Structure 1
Amino acid sequence: MAKTEASTGNTTDFGDFVKDEEEELDLEELVEPWHRYETEENQNVLYPIRLGELLNERYLVEHKLGFGGGSTVWMAFDLQDKKNVALKVMALGKWGDNEIRIQDEIIKTVQDISRLVIYGATFFLPRDDKSYHRVLVFPMKGPSICTLTLKTTPMASRMSAARQLLETVASLHKAGIIHRGEPTSSYFVFLYTKRNDVDLNARNCMWGMTPVDDLSRSAKYELLGRPLKQIIPFVNLWKQGELVSPVKVPEDLRTEEFYLCDFGLAKKIGDLTTQHGYPPMHYCSPDRLHQQEPSFACDMWSYMAIFSMLYLTFPPFPTFLEGGVVSGMVECLGPLPEQWKGLYTHPGGLDSWYDQSQSPDLENDLAAKIAYHRPDTDLVERQHVQSIMSKVFIYDPEKRPTAIELLRDPSFRAIMDRYGCGDSK
């Protein structure tokens, strides 16, 4: 088991504690709920960590990256290798076991892993009751897709990301692996995700980041923001832990490389067991929401939702309608297959989704969305993008193109060429 101890350095230079109720409320919006550390009636107990703590006698915790349904993720300085790393501290139990198993499979079978975020080491942190938390050590990467910053990100960068991601998905599929994402966390607060995200989604896709390994801690804080923190309240813990605000990666640190991470729910085609979980609704294919098994086609729907985010700077299907995102799909694409009625996996399903007399709303179909969100584009470009989206946003998973087929699609290649990203394989 790994030992933990406080840093012997300047323990006052690890961020700022909240000063008043207003700062407490601001922090509450950015961090995991305090009750996630409570052991009673909680199957996913988190491990309490504080800034300045030394984990495994090697990793000095300096900042927070984010959290998810089954982990917290911390920026730490590796005192041995003299570089920043991301520590994904899993919730109590066997969280992370499938991720390690499938990543080992990826290392053995995927031809090109240069755009996959693969763990480099793992260790365990013991609790007072002799149970333990697994920790995965990852390389530091940059910010994930965020609607707040996409509008200022050049289109060439966004379309390069779309191409790189599709090539990465194709390499996974070639090795027989469905990504599916994972329910714990993506890689930064947006990247490491705030909620219970699973499947291929915007929060487990991220740009690269210029290394800041040679900077002092104060210089890192100047670039990434000083951590705002609070002692974990209301829970009687055996060791001190903190709720900490996440880093904010400035645009000038972002690089053009684009990565895919989080493999906690990934599976090899033919595996007898499937890790339980569903994607965030924005990215989940409608067949998965109707009790269909995970497939390469599910990844393709999720990919196209990310492509739409990158191109439109907005999710393709709204969630504010009655019935949520599925109502947005029906409004845009038309009714779901009638044979799916009664199979919806979540509460709040509507019979109207399966009414075959409906047609797509012409004011909210794919063509209308593209024209509304990208008025700067010409008709030829809009037609190419509509062609790409309509080939993947199709209810029958067997009719969706594969990743390789989409890379070779004339409209996809035309868009990539238009933005100087025409290296699609």
Structure 2
Amino acid sequence: MSDLREPQSSAQIRAADGEDLVRDSEFPDDISCLDHAPATSHGTYLAGTQDGVENLEDYQAGGYHPIHLGDRLGNTGRYHVIHKLGHGGFSTVWLCRDSQEGKYVAVKVLTADVSADDLPDLRLIGLDKSALGAEYINIPRDHFSLEGPNGTHQCLVLTLLGPRVSPDIWIEMQNPGPILRKFCQQTAYALKFLHQNGLCHGDFRPANILLKLANLDHLSEDEVLLLLGQPEESEVLTESGENPPLSAPKYLVASTNLLRLGAKYLMEQICIIDFGESFQSSSPPADIGIPEEYLAPEVIIEGGASIGLACDLWALGCTLFEIRRQKPLFYMINDRDELLAEMVGFFGKLPERWWGKWEARADFFDENGKRIGFGGEYEVYTLDRALNHKIEVFEMGSEDKMVLDMPEEEQRLLKDLLTKLFTYTPGNRLSAAEVVQHDWFKM
């Protein structure tokens, strides 16, 4: 990506409002009362502490498959494990070299309690890859199963992708506004492609939108590791002093930070991942797994009977805001009543059929939908204020700062787009096909 800066250490960056921007680490819990890290129910524990690794407890029957650097995965040992890309509640993801094609790929190894019938990603394989929008979908390249001590694991071979589109990718850019807007339009094209094929993503949010990488295949494995840094391993020990059980690996590997590749290898193109919550629009599930801050109000109030394409469109609105502003619209709200209150503050009073069902409304509003506080009124955080919010980041020890803001005309156009996505009537929301044609993308 030509307009990306070289990455900076998160320790060298602080926000103008005093909020530290920490990308790769969290403070560990206090375990000073133990002479080693907390043990699992199987008597295993990690030597020292390690941030950003999966739960060792989940290496058991039905759980993760123990994988080590240098392992060869696939029916013919085709995929050589080089580094760790990440993990989730139902998978670990590994950087591998495809020895057959000489390409770097991501291999997603599911927990053993996920069957092939539970893999919605496989629905993507039969879709028309030449259609507009398909280039923004991470369609599996290969699929195989893996037998291990914890069961049978389904494995997906996927295109290797870069970092997420938020929350702080803008710091690497020379001129973030136009690029972030481009990412937004590509995101809408991806959703249009899915909806035209009768698919709901079900978990549509920036965490599942990554940047594409320029071709790394000409680099040797050693050269790739020189860019990413050597994998960090935390040894798995046992309270008995014996070797770890076969169900657990000998060590856990910390996930790499793909921003370390530098601007040279980051493209101005996004790709949608993680279709574990996706479903056919004609057969919606009884529940949806998206985090609540991206959840449509009809699902909060009416439940699963209202799940459908319109839920993706509400989440698209949240996602477009977050990509462009690099901060979630509903920020750090974990309570459903507070979330509904924030929605009313942004988009007005709920329809009467929902207003009457919302039992906690009197904690936030009078019956006319006017916000109340502790003994009086206070200024409501509006969509206008959210769009106008300026982010400033200083380099430590320097007066130089990077600023992410939005011109007034762009604010006006984005507000128009978001208002049409955030309508409370699900059937009145703009379709993804209409979103990609909006004037905001024509600036």
Q: TM-score range by the shorter chain?
A: 0.7 to 0.9
Structure 2 match to 1:31: 53
**RMSD, matched Cα:** 3.1
Secondary structure, counterpart of 2:107 in structure 1: strand
Amino acid at match of 2:189: E
Secondary structure, counterpart of 1:200 in structure 2: coil
Q: Is the 8 A contact 1:366 1:390 kept in 2?
A: no
From 395, 418, 421, give the equivalent of 1:389. Answer: 418
Bigger shift: residues 101-110 or 160-169: 101-110
Structure 1 match to 2:390: 373
2 CA distance for matches of 1:230 and 1:350? 49
Change (3 A) 1:213 1:387: same
Structure 1 match to 2:398: none
From 400, 403, 420, give the equivalent of 2:432. Answer: 403
Q: Is the 8 A contact 1:85 1:139 kept in 2?
A: yes
Q: Is the 8 A contact 2:233 2:253 kept in 1?
A: yes
From 139, 148, 169, give the equivalent of 1:127. Answer: 148
Q: Is the 8 A contact 1:300 1:403 kept in 2?
A: yes
Structure 2 match to 1:216: 220
Amino acid at match of 1:122: H
Q: Is the 8 A contact 1:178 1:295 kept in 2?
A: yes
2 CA distance for matches of 1:171 and 1:357? 41
The answer as to 2:279 corresponding to 1:279 is no
2 CA distance for matches of 1:96 and 1:107? 22
Structure 2 match to 1:17: none
Q: Is the 8 A contact 1:177 1:266 kept in 2?
A: yes
Q: Is the 8 A contact 1:394 1:400 kept in 2?
A: yes
From 281, 296, 300, give the equivalent of 1:269. Answer: 281
2 CA distance for matches of 1:140 and 1:337? 44
Secondary structure, counterpart of 1:66 in structure 2: strand
1 CA distance for matches of 2:342 and 2:234? 39
The answer as to 2:93 corresponding to 1:67 is no
Change (3 A) 1:108 1:116: closer
Amino acid at match of 2:422: F
From 236, 247, 251, give the equivalent of 1:242. Answer: 251
How far 1:36 sits from its partner (Å)? 1.5
Q: Is the 8 A contact 1:142 1:206 kept in 2?
A: yes
Q: Is the 8 A contact 1:335 1:354 kept in 2?
A: no
Structure 2 match to 1:200: 204
How far 1:319 sits from its partner (Å)? 2.2
Change (3 A) 1:148 1:27: farther
Amino acid at match of 2:228: L
Structure 1 match to 2:308: 295
Structure 1 match to 2:96: 76
1 CA distance for matches of 2:252 and 2:311? 35
Structure 2 unpaired stretches of 5+? 1-34, 38-45, 239-243, 372-377, 392-403
How far 1:127 sits from its partner (Å)? 2.2
The answer as to 2:439 corresponding to 1:417 is no
| Higher CA-based Rg | 2
How far 1:99 sits from its partner (Å)? 1.9
Q: What are the equivalent positions in structure 2 for 1:134-149 lying under 5 Å apart? A: 134-149=154-169
Change (3 A) 1:109 1:380: closer
Q: Is the 8 A contact 2:96 2:104 kept in 1?
A: yes
Change (3 A) 1:362 1:265: same
The answer as to 2:191 corresponding to 1:169 is yes
2 CA distance for matches of 1:49 and 1:240? 6
Structure 2 match to 1:364: 381
Structure 2 match to 1:47: 65
Amino acid at match of 1:358: G
2 CA distance for matches of 1:275 and 1:320? 24
Change (3 A) 1:377 1:109: closer
2 CA distance for matches of 1:389 and 1:140? 31
Change (3 A) 1:318 1:324: farther
Change (3 A) 1:378 1:62: closer
From 245, 253, 256, give the equivalent of 2:268. Answer: 256
* CA deviation vs aligned residue, 1:386-418 (integer Å, no higher than 9, x gap): 212222123221221111222233xxx2x3232
1 CA distance for matches of 2:409 and 2:95? 45
Amino acid at match of 2:218: D
Q: Is the 8 A contact 1:331 1:365 kept in 2?
A: yes
2 CA distance for matches of 1:286 and 1:316? 14
Aligned length, in residue pairs: 367
2 CA distance for matches of 1:25 and 1:306? 39
Structure 2 match to 1:12: none
Q: Is the 8 A contact 1:265 1:275 kept in 2?
A: no
Q: TM-score, normalised by structure 2?
A: 0.74
How far 1:166 sits from its partner (Å)? 0.6
How far 1:29 sits from its partner (Å)? 2.8
Secondary structure, counterpart of 2:169 in structure 1: helix
* CA deviation vs aligned residue, 1:262-319 (integer Å, no higher than 9, x gap): 2222222223x63854202232222233314332211111111111112111111122
Amino acid at match of 2:275: F
Structure 1 unpaired stretches of 5+? 1-19, 181-198, 419-425
How far 1:72 sits from its partner (Å)? 0.8
From 226, 230, 251, give the equivalent of 2:234. Answer: 230
1 CA distance for matches of 2:144 and 2:332? 40
Structure 1 match to 2:135: 114
